[in-house]
Amino acid sequence: MNAASGLRPLSAGFHANMRDKLRQTASDNGLDGHLMLRPSNIAYACGFFYAANERPVGLWLPVEGDPILFIPELERENAESATALAVRFYTEFPGETHPLLWMLDQIGLQSLSLDQLDALLLPAVRDRVRRLDLRDFAMEQRYIKTPEEIALTRAAAGFADLFLSRLSSAGGDIIAQGGTEVDLLNDAMAFARGALMTRHRVTFAGTPMGITATVHSGPRAALPHGAVLERRPQPGETLIAGIGASLGGYHAESGATFVIGHMKGEQRRIMQAMQDCDAAAVAALVPAARCDLVNDAAQDVLRAADLADAIRHRIGHGMGLDGHEAPWLAPGDKTRIAPGMVFSNEPGVYRPGLDGYRTINTMIVTPNGVEIPSRFQAETPIDARIIAL
């Protein structure tokens, strides 16, 4: 999809609407406003993207009055060109007065929420506020994506799929010529990222977009977050590829497990169990269901396949302006599912010293079911996930 088809960065009107909703949550909770420090919350509320570092950026959103963006001096030109909001600057970090405390001095004595806080600053913060609420109201509002946000997620998923398609089609030749995990990664990354930039770099200039990926083979496929190495995949091994893509700041994921050469019966059995696990998560992801119970329903399929000892992680996580964000399809998260939520679906089986398996789909909750914009798995059956040498 391109600009001609209507896909564009989120508008100033979108951000203004989100600010109005956040003002209402502050009013409903007896607060004078929200002070947001998380970069993703700030992007959500005003569309300002920046390179986060040790220097805090803050957005004060009062129930009454105009919002104020607090930034370090070195971001002056960046902020003035990217937002129409009022901007105030501090000189440097850490400063004689910590930037957060300076922000509070600028705001004045208020009842407010903070979305994050270093515990060491808590006493000084309490001295500068009438009432402090540490609930992350913006993150909770971000659980439910609008159609505009979902359109960006849907498009991002397509570029993650491109990585898998390229790996599937070109991987055999690369390995046959002595290629390594790094070579496979670089080739598929260049293909997918090149397509993303060709299509969207002009329209989405100034907003985050990109591809991140990992490729692990053989025994290293049992390390979900292991490094990509100069290791040549061997015939008969599994190879895991996990891809994240972002467009306009919004994330999606796709991933698949391949077998190099011929697929053995046990490998296919595990891949079928993972596919059944994926389907169980989709079936359980219905409005009003609890996140932790969706995780249980999916993981029970792996347990029934005698793979309980090979489970290393939850079934999924929320996605949006952060690649990993709440709510979590995991033990302990009792959040109720609602239309507009976006999750990953990540069945994983890891057998240390032997092999590993993981697939990833992006799931969008709708009133009538689950939309899956990640299409590689649906269009590439298990028996076609072979990299022939």
71 bridge partner residues? 89
DSSP-H helix ranges across the chain: 12-28, 39-46, 76-82, 99-107, 122-126, 137-142, 147-176, 181-200, 265-284, 291-304, 376-379
Is-contact 367 339, C-beta < 8 A? yes
- pLDDT score recorded for residue 226: 87
Residue pLDDT, tens place only, 53-74: 999 999 999 999 999 999 999 9
Helical pair 181-200 and 147-176, crossing angle rounded to 10 deg: 140
Residue pLDDT, tens place only, 1-44: 444 457 999 999 999 999 999 999 999 999 999 999 999 999 99
Backbone angles phi, psi at 133, to 5 degrees: -120, 120
Residue in 257, 258, 214 with CA at minimum distance from that of residue 235: 258
- pLDDT score recorded for residue 151: 98
- The residues, ordered by sequence, that sit 6+ positions from 84 with a Cβ below 8 Å of its Cβ are 12
238 bridge partner residues? 259
Distance (Å, whole) CA 244 – CA 229: 19
- pLDDT score recorded for residue 323: 97
DSSP letters spanning 243-292: EEEEETTEEEEEEEEEEESSPPHHHHHHHHHHHHHHHHHHHH--TT-BHH
Distance (Å, whole) CA 164 – CA 167: 5
Largest CA distance in the chain: 69
- pLDDT score recorded for residue 234: 97
Give the chain's residues under pLDDT 70.
1-5
Residue in 34, 203, 173, 15 with CA at minimum distance from that of residue 114: 34
| CB neighbourhood size of 135 (10 A) | 14
Distance (Å, whole) CA 340 – CA 264: 40
Is-contact 54 93, C-beta < 8 A? yes
Kindly list the structural domains of the chain, giving each domain's residue range(s) and its CATH number in brackets, ordered by start.
3-142 (3.40.350.10), 147-387 (3.90.230.10)
Distance (Å, whole) CA 271 – CA 353: 18
Residue pLDDT, tens place only, 144-163: 999 999 999 999 999 999 99
- pLDDT score recorded for residue 4: 40
Cα 171 to its chain centre, rounded Å, is: 26
